[in-house]
Amino acid sequence: MNKGDDFDDKMIVAEVVAGQKELFRLLVNRHEQSVYGMGLSFFRNAEDASDFTQEVFLKVFSNLPRFEGRSRFSTWLYKIAYNTAVNRVTRKKEYHSLAEDDSVIDGDTPERAMLRAAIREAVLEAVRELPERYRICVDLFFFYDRSYQEIEAITGYPVNTIKSHVFRAKKLLRERLKGFAEGGIE
C-alpha cells in the first residue's frame, strides 16, 4: 500500500464518520482480501475466514469514529483483525501460518510442480515447528509486508521483541532447512 492509498483511506473514514456510511464499502473493497487472508491463516477454512472477515468489518465500522489517524488505516484495521483472531484462537487454540498457502504457478512442468511441492512441504513443516509468537511475527513481516512498528501496533509486542522473533525464526528455519537446501532432506 502506498501513502496515497492511506491518504485516500483517511479521507474515506472522515466521510463515513461525517454521515456518508455507504462509502464504507470502498474501505471494505480495498482491504477485504487482506483481512480474509489473515482469517485463512488463523482458521484454515473459507467459511470461518468469511465469518471472521465480516466480524472484523463490523467492528471496524462501529469503531470508525475512534480512528484518530495517528497510524495508517490499514495498521489500525490489522490490529482489530489480529485481536479478533487471537481472541477466537484463544478459544480454539489453533494458528496456521500463511506459509501454508497452497499457490500454484502457471506454466510449471510436472517436475517443477513436484519440486515446488516438496520444497513447500519442507518449509511448511519447518514453519509449523516454530513457536506461535515467531510464526505470527514472520507472517506479518514477510507475508503481509508489515513494518516492525506496524507489527508492534498490531500485536502489542515491543519492536525489539519482534526483531528478535523474526531473527530467531529465520535462524531456526535456516537450520531446519539446511539439509534440504544442500540437495537432500535430513
Q: Which domain holds residue 125?
A: 105-186
Q: For residue 57, give the C-alpha cell.
A: 468489518
Amino acid letter for position 149: Q
Pair (28, 54) in one structural domain: yes
Pair (119, 177) in one structural domain: yes
Q: What is the model's pLDDT at position 177?
A: 81
Pair (89, 111) in one structural domain: no
Strands annotated E in the chain? none
Higher pLDDT, 68 or 110: 68
pLDDT tier at 165 (50, 70, 90 boundaries)? very high
Q: What is the model's pLDDT at position 182?
A: 56
| Backbone phi and psi for residue 185, each to the nearest 5 degrees, phi listed first | -100, 125
Mean pLDDT score of the chain: 81
Q: Mark out the alpha helices in 18-141 (DSSP H runs).
A: 24-43, 46-63, 73-92, 110-128, 132-138
pTM: 0.58
Q: What is the model's pLDDT at position 11?
A: 92
Pair (72, 123) in one structural domain: no
**Structural domains of the chain, count:** 2
pLDDT tier at 184 (50, 70, 90 boundaries)? very low
Q: What is the model's pLDDT at position 90?
A: 64
Q: 73-92 and 3-17 helices cross at what angle (nearest 10)?
A: 80
Residues 172-183 have a mean pLDDT of 74
Amino acid letter for position 108: D
Pair (62, 128) in one structural domain: no
**Nearby residues of 80 by Cβ (< 8 Å), 6 or more positions away:** 56, 59, 60, 63
Q: For residue 127, give the C-alpha cell.
A: 514453519
What are the angstrom distances between the C-alpha of 107 and each of 7, 104, 113? 38, 9, 9
Q: What is the model's pLDDT at position 178?
A: 80
Question: Tell me: the pLDDT tens digits for 82-114?
Answer: 889 888 876 655 555 555 555 545 556 777 767
Pair (91, 12) in one structural domain: yes
Q: What is the model's pLDDT at position 180?
A: 64
CA neighbor of 135 nearest in space, from 168, 101, 180: 168
